[in-house]
Every structure is written in C-alpha cells, then in structure tokens.
Amino acid sequence: MDRFSLLLICLVVFGCQKPENEVKSKMDAFFELNRSSQKFVIQGDSINTLITERGAIIEISSNQLAATTTEPIEVVISEVYDKSDMIYWGLSTNTSDGFYLESEGMLNIEFYAGNSPIRLNKGEKLTIKFPRSENLYNYNVYLGSSKNNITQWNLSNIVRTDTFVYQTAREVRLDYGGNGAILNTYYISRNDTLYSSREVLDPGDEQFDSVKDSITIPSYLRESIYFMFDFSELDWINIDKLMEPDSTETLIVKSDTSFQQKHFLIFKDRNSVLSSYPEPRLVFDKIPLHENLELISITERNDTLMYSHLEFKLDSLIELTAKYMPVSKEELKMVIQGVNKKRS
C-alpha cells in the first residue's frame, strides 16, 4: 500500500469520528430530548411582562441586565411542575441539610445576548408571580445549588406575598411578617363599588385558613392565585413546603457501578422526587416511613437503553436490587409520565 492510500484511509477513519464532547449516550440524549424551555425576546427600557405556558408572570426590562448590547435579548424560561419533569431535569426535592420538600413548582430564568449569558445588574430584582394550585400558607421559596450533579435547595430570605387576582377586581394580598400575616382584600362589585378589608392573622391559629376563606367574594369573579416575590439570583427557584415526618428510615439500593446509572425515588402521594447517582452502596437516608414509593433506575449497556421499575411501601429498613431490562425510548417515556398519577 502506498503512502497516499494510507493517508486517505486515515483521513476517512478519523474524519468521521466526532469529538468526544459531542458524543452523547442514549441515556443522556433521552433526558435532554424530553426537557422543554420557552424563549422570549425583550428589548427597550420599558417593562416587559412575560407569561409562561404554565401561567408564571415575570416582569423585566433590558436595563435591569448587565448587557452592553442594544440588540434584543433572549429570555429562556424552564418550568418544572410535575414529577416526570423533575426526572427529565434531574431535580431532587431535598434540602442541603438532608430534609425533603413537597414542590408546588420550579422555575429557571436565563438571559442571553447572542450566545453569551447575562446576569442581572447589582441591586436589580425581577418581580415574579408564580401560579399555585392550593390555598396554603406554609410554602416557602427555596434556591437551588448543585452538589455532585444533584440540585439541593436552601431556604431563601425572599419576602413573599400571596396575590389573588380577579378578572374584574383589584388584588387580594396576604403579606407575611414576623408577627403573623396581614390580609388586605380589594374587590369591585357589579356596581363598581370598591370594598376593602384588613385583618391581622396568626399563621399558628387553627382558624387561619377558615378566616381567610370566609371572606365573601362574588362568584362571578374569576380567581387566579399566585405567590409573588422579588428575585435577584438567576438560578433555579422552587416553591415548597417542608416534610415533617414523625419517623424516618433508610433505603439501600444495590448498584452495579461499572455502568452509568441514574436512580429516581418517587413519592406517589406527594409532588416529590429524589435523584441520585450510584456509589458502591446507594443510600437514600431519612425517608419518611409509611410512604408509597417508586424507584426508577435507568442505565445503558452495550448501546441499549435499560430500566428497572420497583413499587413498594417503606415500613422498615429495606434493601433493593435494580433488575434491568431493555426498553425503548417510547416505553420509558410512558413509564416516567405515569409517575404523575397519584395513588387512589
């Protein structure tokens, strides 16, 4: 074989290979494919009101951003409300100090000028109205941080206001303070008369919710309920309440660390998911007892996507072994979507 032929073979072989950082496993590609984000464009100094697909409302102007460009700025918003989305994004509902949360929803906001990320100017804050499904007062704002590829949540000091917005009315705000809550109600009747009331409520009072719900609002007014707060850090934010179980136990999962794996512990009766990556002995610690749980484990072996799906109730120390079987992307997606159904 002459030198020219040898050189041609080398060019064909090595020219067809992708750089290592461009090669994704089937497992990683599966998760990325099922994540979704929304894109908006803002420009000018006026306030831009962005409404997401799931109903979050963000107010922002371009002069709040640390950008030197006068070109339009792209806003990328990712919303996570369901347990299946938590799995696709790899988001756990555990705090940095080892406790667990029930999530009302998670949100991530990013700004770009071209391909360059942009931060908020120092001292600037976004106003966010976050949709909520329940009229509960014991949810708080948590901020996400990543440790060992797992997002953990820290309780923020963000001051939160509950806002009830009506179709033909003003707002109802529940402002939280150190001495309880102040309930300010404003609404307009059919004859355009403005009514208002103001009550100081104690969150520890058993009558808290019934007092709040007893306020008479005409039935023809359509209600939307939001958490409202000002936000200064562009990271994942999470609206949660803390689980406070009477007793907990440890769950151990046997893991073959010779293959890349992802494990997701799903709480059937709560909007909570714990994710983990395998170690010689995979441990989920401080799990509340008597919970109905699912464990979904996913791996890839010999270019084949595989999974294990176990359902159980945690009543004592349990050790599980993931038994993998081949699965198509479509079948795996159906399994993950199925975790959104609550136990009857």
pLDDT over threshold 50, residue 210:
no
pLDDT over threshold 60, residue 169:
no
Question: Coil, strand, or helix at residue 82?
Answer: coil
Q: Which helix (H) or strand (E) holds 223?
A: strand 223-231
Tokens of 28: 């990683």
pLDDT over threshold 50, residue 196:
no
pTM of the model: 0.75
Phi then psi for residue 199, to 5 deg, are -135, 140
Rg of the chain in Å (alpha carbons): 25
Query: Which residues lie across from 131 on neighbouring strands?
Result: 226
Quote the pLDDT of residue 128.
87
Residue 280 burial (CB < 10 Å; 0-12/13-18/19+)?
exposed
Quote the pLDDT of residue 253.
87
More confident call, 175 vs 93 = 93
Quote the pLDDT of residue 292.
92
Q: Which of 157, 152, 156 is nearest to 98 (CA)?
A: 152
Quote the pLDDT of residue 88.
95
Tokens of 162: 């509950």
CA distance 100 to 98: 7
For the chain, percent helix, then strand, then coil, each to nearest 5?
15, 50, 35
Phi then psi for residue 103, to 5 deg, are -95, 135
Read off the pLDDT of residues 62-111 as tens digits, 9 standing for 90 and up.
Answer: 888 887 767 788 999 999 999 999 999 999 998 888 889 999 899 999 99
Question: Above pLDDT 70, what percent of the chain?
Answer: 66
Q: How confident is the model at residue 53 (pLDDT cuts 50, 70, 90)?
A: confident
What average pLDDT does range 223-229 have in this prediction? 69
Residue 112 burial (CB < 10 Å; 0-12/13-18/19+)?
middle
Quote the pLDDT of residue 114.
83
What average pLDDT does range 21-42 have in this prediction? 85
CA distance 343 to 93: 19
How many Cα atoms occupy the beta-carbon half-sphere of 28 within 13 Å? 6
Quote the pLDDT of residue 307.
95
pLDDT over threshold 60, residue 218:
no
Read off the pLDDT of residues 150-160 as tens digits, 9 standing for 90 and up.
Answer: 778 999 887 66
CA distance 153 to 88: 18
Phi then psi for residue 145, to 5 deg, are -140, 145
Read off the pLDDT of residues 106-146 as tens digits, 9 standing for 90 and up.
Answer: 999 999 988 889 999 988 888 888 877 655 567 888 998 76
Quote the pLDDT of residue 160.
67
Q: How confident is the model at residue 224 (pLDDT cuts 50, 70, 90)?
A: low
Quote the pLDDT of residue 79.
94
Q: How confident is the model at residue 285 (pLDDT cuts 50, 70, 90)?
A: confident
Q: Would you say the C-alpha torsion 218, 223, 225, 226 has a positive or negative sign?
A: negative
pLDDT over threshold 80, residue 26:
yes
Quote the pLDDT of residue 24.
67
CA distance 247 to 286: 8
